[in-house]
Amino acid sequence: MSDPLWTAREVAAATGGLADGEFSAQGITFDSREVQPGDLFVALQGVRDGHEFVAGAFAAGAAGALVSSPVPGGPFVLVADTLQALEALGRDARDRAPQVRRGAVTGSVGKTSVTQAIRAGLDLAGPAHGSVKSFNNHIGVPLTLARMPRAVERAIFEIGMNHAGEIGPLSRMVQPHAVCVTTVGPVHIENFPDGEAGVARAKAEIFEGLGPGGVAVLNGDDRWFDLLKQAALERGARVAVFGSDPGGDAVLVDFRPDPEGADVTARIWGEEITYRLAQPGFHWGPNSLATLLMLEALDVPMPTALEALASFRPLAGRGAARQVAVPGGSFLLIDESYNANPISMVAGFRNLGARRDVAGRRIVVLTDMLELGDQSQALHAGLAEPIIQAEIDLVFTAGKAMQFLDQALPAEKRGGWAEDAAALAPVVTAAVRPGDVVMVKGSNGSRASLIAKALAEMGAAREV
């Protein structure tokens, strides 16, 4: 058996808690539904009190529990506050593995995909660790740190936010050697009185954890680049710039998509290279440059980084494509149902419009973009123009905000509107025909995934 991730004595020492019994844990979780034998279960206070689930965690094989009140059923460490204790475990895991090169990624669009692409490169380069899913908040980041084994060489963390003041403490917790801001856009702007400028300043908090000489990888094409660069320089960072500007450090020279992926030509530190991607979306041009700069900053050789990009595929709900067999043939389903904002919507339309392997219609199915505040109506209606420019054939929409888009579209492009995703799903499944390509996109909270699931279940789905 491998060395334990945490013992009861180590947890008590890191948190200042009191151990009641001995245990050796191989993993750590706060969700009793995900407990694996040998895990440490952390009883967090949320909508429900995590202490209610300790018994179930022990029944599922948890080795021990981290609690703020004594519990029966197994060994535990008693602390005053379990969230603060989880944070302490994260910091201790960081400090006990000083050899680890750590990176962190934030941004309004693309942070999860770029984080996972970086992770693919780290895994090829040696023992590595990183975020799973979108574990990027005040719980996910310390949990990811606390899960970090002692023996890894590199690690990557995703850091997100909904409000100002959230990223800074998490960056200081991670203490990254390199950070990346993918983009800044109108996301969560209902929480920022000054709109995107406030979002940009909140994203700049990621530099707070950088030590002197740390690397800040920034998007030179972003409208907030100057603000971000200045904030990074004030922290003593070394700035590396990606984008289309010929004066950048990683410059996108050419992007040639095809049904199976894309060929990219780029100039990295003045040297022109050509490499292959496993996904055809245009946004993967700059995403790949950000990934390469981050991997370099984390001491991953360029050939290893390029090998990782050649095989990395989109995550579920973030652009994964599949052929769905139906009577008379099949249609292509592009699942972008995990998240959406104005920037990623327009990128999705552009990618769909550029496909040359479409025998049938280009169809988009869209649900509400959330947290846009008083700009919501205008930002939803404003999607009509890029839809027209991308030559999308048919648009189905669900949600009160998406009704503004439906009303702004030409009559021939309006496939149908419904109050919510559940009501729209049967309308879409009835309309799809063999040869069509269907992209489903919307904010996670507006349940676009219900429609993607309904389409996938129309027949046998095969990943492409």
Say what the pLDDT of residue 179 is.
Answer: 98
Amino acid at 20: D
Say what the pLDDT of residue 189 is.
Answer: 65
Can you give the pLDDT of all 464 residues of the chain as single tens digits? Answer: 578 999 999 999 999 999 999 999 999 999 999 999 999 999 999 888 999 999 999 999 999 999 999 999 999 999 999 999 999 999 999 999 999 999 999 998 889 999 999 999 999 999 999 988 778 899 999 999 999 999 999 999 999 988 889 999 999 999 999 999 999 977 766 776 778 888 999 999 999 999 888 999 999 999 999 999 999 999 999 999 999 999 999 999 999 988 788 999 999 999 999 999 998 888 899 999 999 999 999 999 999 999 999 999 876 667 778 889 999 999 999 888 877 888 889 988 988 988 777 789 999 999 999 888 888 999 999 999 999 999 999 999 999 999 999 999 999 999 999 999 999 999 999 999 999 999 999 988 889 999 999 999 987 544 54
User: What's the chain's Rg over C-alpha atoms?
Assistant: 23
Say what the pLDDT of residue 417 is.
Answer: 96
> Which conformational region is residue 435 in: left (phi greater than 0), alpha (psi within -120 to 50 degrees), or beta?
left
Say what the pLDDT of residue 460 is.
Answer: 55
Say what the pLDDT of residue 322 is.
Answer: 84
Say what the pLDDT of residue 186 is.
Answer: 74
Distance CA 425, CA 438 (A): 13
Say what the pLDDT of residue 377 is.
Answer: 94
Whether 158 contacts 105, CB under 8 Å: yes
33: buried, middle or exposed (CB in 10 Å: 19+, 13-18, 0-12)? exposed
What's the angle, vertex CA 391, arms to CA 388 and CA 393, rounded to 5? 95
Say what the pLDDT of residue 49 is.
Answer: 93
Q: Is residue 121 classed as helix, strand or coil in its secondary structure?
A: helix
Q: Is residue 364 classed as helix, strand or coil in its secondary structure?
A: strand
Say what the pLDDT of residue 216 is.
Answer: 98
DSSP H helices, 262-419, are 284-297, 302-311, 342-354, 376-381, 384-389, 402-408
Q: What is the pTM of this model?
A: 0.82
Say what the pLDDT of residue 316 is.
Answer: 65
What's the angle, vertex CA 347, arms to CA 287 and CA 217, rounded to 5? 25
N-to-C CA span, the chain: 38
Say what the pLDDT of residue 271 is.
Answer: 97
Distance CA 259, CA 247 (A): 31
Say what the pLDDT of residue 394 is.
Answer: 97
Residues contacting residue 303 through CB under 8 Å, at least 6 positions apart: none
